[in-house]
Each structure stands twice: as structure tokens, then as C-alpha cells.
């Protein structure tokens, strides 16, 4: 179905897994964005990503379970509603005309990019409302996040992870592991919905295969990179990339011409580079201040002193 674009899709799977492995979110958003750019319809792009995620999420969830990063009580209350929401989102997207849906899917992706950008810039210092997550809130959260994930081609990680982080009821590693382990049922629910809505013959199985291969290759590299690349800088770059690749379609909804859209994309690239550079400078400055403070107290930098 993709022909010469298969290499591009393989790269998409590789990049998407790097992002997801480093940020705990972004696989669906990134992969769907690149598949839309490659020419697939929104439904086929989202379906291909979710079928590939049947393999990537299973591997990710198993890895998190092995390292003790999963709260299975939360998984049981989040994953099943998430699968139901994803099924509904996939079925709805499959019933929408592809031409009419494409700019609206891009709008969803832009909103998700803004969320990723906020988390990247705010980091752990974000002052979010400390609202306890109760068992009866996990169901609605799963349904909404699953629906957005399937209908928009991504969103399970940004919506679920951000909400659970804001609640501050679990350690960050537990949040990431729990959301990752839950995502397998979300991918399964979306896949069933797309099978019913599109049929086997409409799925881009070549895209599924190369996405899966790219993701498997990237998984160990992402685990290595996550310890060496600052999450805030990476998140800013990824959010900027998603905005650049989707802004033209969204601006077209408002009647903005291609010349203005091109200018917006150029400005976005410049701002993204500037933001990444600013975050890097801020990190180095904060690190230098921390080391200087430790020395002034007579505490040598290191595992105990900084």
C-alpha cells in the first residue's frame, strides 16, 4: 500500500519508539503524524499504528513488569475502560470520510503536541492540582484517553500519564509502567474496532510490519538514551516536530493560505530550536548552581552530595 514510502514508515516506527521510550508517551502521536504525511488516510494510519502497538506495548509492559514498575490494581481499572474507549474511537473514525477527517485529526494531534510541550517545559516542577485518583475516576479516564488515542492516532500516554502524574498518588516510574502495561488492551480494542469498521483488506499490513520492526530495533536504544538525554529538551523538540507537520492542515480549516502556513512552520522550527537551546542552558546553569551550593556547604558533588 505504501510502496516506496516503506522506508519512511520504518523510520517512523524507529523514531516513535525512541520518543515513547524516552518520554513515556508519544508513539501513537508521532507514528500517526508521519503516516499521514506519507499519504495514508486517518483511519488507515491510526489502524496501522495500533496493530503495530499490539507488539510494542506487549514488550513494553512486560519490561516494566519485570522491573517492578506496574501497579496492577490501577491497570485492571484503567485498561478495560481504555480498550472500550479505543474500540469506540476506532469505529467512529472508520465511519468518517477520510478527506473531512484529516484536518480534524491533525487538530487533535496539535492539541496533544501542546500537552507534550507543556510537560516538557514544566517538567517535575509543574504545580498541578493535587487531586487524588479514586477507583471510580479511572474508568472515565480510560474511556476518554482510549477514545482520543484511537480517533486521533495517539493520546493514551499524554492523557493518562499526565492525569496520573497530576494526582501525585504514585511514583513517576509506577505511573509510566502502569500506563504502558495498560496500553496493550487499548491497542487491542482499537484494532478490533478498525477491523470491524475497515475490514482486513483496508489495513496497511506492510506499514504494520515495518512499524513493528522499527520499534523493536529502537526499544533497547531508547532505554539507553533515556539515561543520557534530558527529557524536557527531547519533549520540546518532538512537540515542535508534530506542530510543524500538522499545522498546515489545521490552518487550512481557518482559510489560511499555504504561504502563511509555510511561514508558521518556519517560525515553529526556529522557536523549537530556541526553546531546546534555552532549556539546555537552564539545565547547565541549574546544575552549576547546585554544585556550587554543595561546595559552599563543604559537601563534595557525587551520589550523596549532588
Using one digit for the tens of pLDDT, what is the confidence trace for 100-158?
666 776 787 788 778 777 877 776 544 444 445 667 789 999 999 999 888 877 778 87
In this prediction, residues 72-78 reach a mean pLDDT of 91
71-95 mean pLDDT: 91
pLDDT at 190: 92
Q: How confident is the model at residue 306 (pLDDT cuts 50, 70, 90)?
A: very low
Residue 303 belongs to some domain of the structure: no
How high is the pLDDT of residue 191?
A: 92
Mean pLDDT computed over 269-273: 90
- Res 242: pLDDT: 77
pLDDT band at 169 (very low <50, low <70, confident <90, very high): confident
The predicted pLDDT at position 126 comes to 46
Residue 74 included in any domain: yes
With a CB cutoff of 8 Å and minimum separation 6, the contacts of 136 are none
Residue whose C-alpha is closest to residue 13's, from 204, 217, 187: 217
Q: In whole angstroms, how far apart are CA 42 and each of 5, 57, 105, 173, 240?
A: 16, 21, 7, 32, 21
pLDDT over 50 at 63, yes or no: yes
How does DSSP classify residue 153?
A: S
147 versus 286: which is more confidently predicted? 147
Containing domain of residue 105, as a range?
Answer: 3-228
Question: Percent of the chain, pLDDT > 70?
Answer: 82
- Tell which wins on pLDDT, 242 or 52: 52
Count up the domains in the chain and report the number: 1
Opening angle at CA 43, ends 246 and 61, nearest 5: 90
pLDDT band at 228 (very low <50, low <70, confident <90, very high): low
* pLDDT top residue among 233 and 125: 233
Q: What is the mean pLDDT of residues 24-42?
A: 79
DSSP result, 255-288: T--HHHHHHHHHHHHHHHHHHHHHHHHHHHHHHH
Average pLDDT over all residues of the chain:
79
* In the predicted structure, residue 305 carries a pLDDT above the cut 70: no
Q: Does residue 235 have a pLDDT over 80?
A: no
The more confident residue out of 270 and 69 is 270
- Give the pLDDT of residue 185: 95
- Model pLDDT for residues 176-222, shown as the tens digit of each residue: 888 888 989 999 999 999 988 888 877 888 888 888 888 878 777 76
pTM greater than 0.75: no
Classify residue 302 by its DSSP letter.
S
Q: What is the pLDDT of residue 94?
A: 81
Whether residue 168 has pLDDT greater than 70 = no
Whether 203 is in a domain gets the answer yes
304 domain residue, yes or no: no
- The answer to whether 183 touches 80, Cβ cutoff 8 Å, is no
CB burial class (10 A; 0-12, 13-18, 19+) of residue 206?
A: middle
Confidence band of 80 (pLDDT split at 50, 70, 90) = very high
The answer to whether residue 238 is domain-embedded is: no
Question: Residue 243: which of 97, 68, 113 has the closest Cα?
Answer: 113
Indicate whether 274 pLDDT > 50.
Answer: yes
Q: Is residue 79 part of a domain?
A: yes
Tell me whether residue 171 is in a domain. yes
pLDDT at 230: 74
pLDDT of 245 higher than 70: yes
- Count the Cβ atoms, other than its own, within 10 Å of residue 65: 15
294, part of any domain: no
Amino acid at each position: 500500500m505504501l510502496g516506496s514510502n516503506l522506508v519512511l514508515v520504518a523510520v517512523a516506527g524507529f523514531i516513535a519508539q525512541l520518543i515513547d521510550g524516552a518520554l513515556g508517551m508519544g508513539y501513537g502521536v508521532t507514528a500517526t503524524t508521519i503516516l499521514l504525511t506519507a499519504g495514508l488516510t486517518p483511519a488507515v494510519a491510526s489502524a496501522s499504528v495500533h496493530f503495530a502497538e499490539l507488539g510494542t506495548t506487549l514488550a513494553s509492559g512486560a519490561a516494566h513488569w519485570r522491573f517492578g514498575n506496574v501497579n496492577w490494581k490501577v491497570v485492571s481499572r484503567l485498561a478495560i475502560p481504555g480498550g472500550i474507549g479505543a474500540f469506540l474511537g476506532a469505529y467512529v473514525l472508520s465511519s468518517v470520510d477520510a478527506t473531512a477527517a484529516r484536518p480534524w485529526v491533525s487538530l487533535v494531534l496539535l492539541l496533544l503536541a501542546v500537552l507534550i510541550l507543556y510537560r516538557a517545559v514544566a517538567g517535575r516542577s509543574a504545580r498541578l492540582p493535587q487531586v487524588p485518583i479514586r477507583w471510580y475516576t479511572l474508568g472515565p479516564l480510560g474511556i476518554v484517553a482510549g477514545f482520543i488515542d484511537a480517533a486521533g492516532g495517539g493520546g493514551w500516554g499524554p492523557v493518562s500519564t499526565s492525569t496520573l502524574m497530576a494526582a501525585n498518588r504514585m511514583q513517576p516510574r509506577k505511573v509510566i509502567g502502569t500506563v504502558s502495561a495498560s496500553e496493550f488492551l487499548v491497542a487491542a480494542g482499537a484494532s478490533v474496532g478498525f477491523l470491524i469498521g475497515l475490514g482486513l483488506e483496508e489495513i496497511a499490513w506492510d506499514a504494520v510490519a515495518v512499524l513493528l520492526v522499527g520499534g523493536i530495533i529502537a526499544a533497547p536504544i531508547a532505554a539507553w538514551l533515556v539515561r543520557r538525554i534530558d527529557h524536557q529538551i527531547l519533549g520540546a523538540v518532538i512537540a515542535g516536530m508534530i506542530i510543524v507537520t500538522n499545522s498546515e492542515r489545521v490552518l487550512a480549516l481557518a482559510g489560511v493560505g499555504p504561504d502563511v502556513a509555510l511561514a508558521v512552520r518556519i517560525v515553529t522550527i526556529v522557536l523549537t530550536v530556541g526553546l531546546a537551546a534555552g532549556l539546555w542552558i537552564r539545565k547547565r546553569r541549574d546544575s552549576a548552581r547546585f554544585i556550587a551550593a554543595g561546595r559552599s556547604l563543604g559537601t563534595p558533588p557525587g551520589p550523596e552530595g549532588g
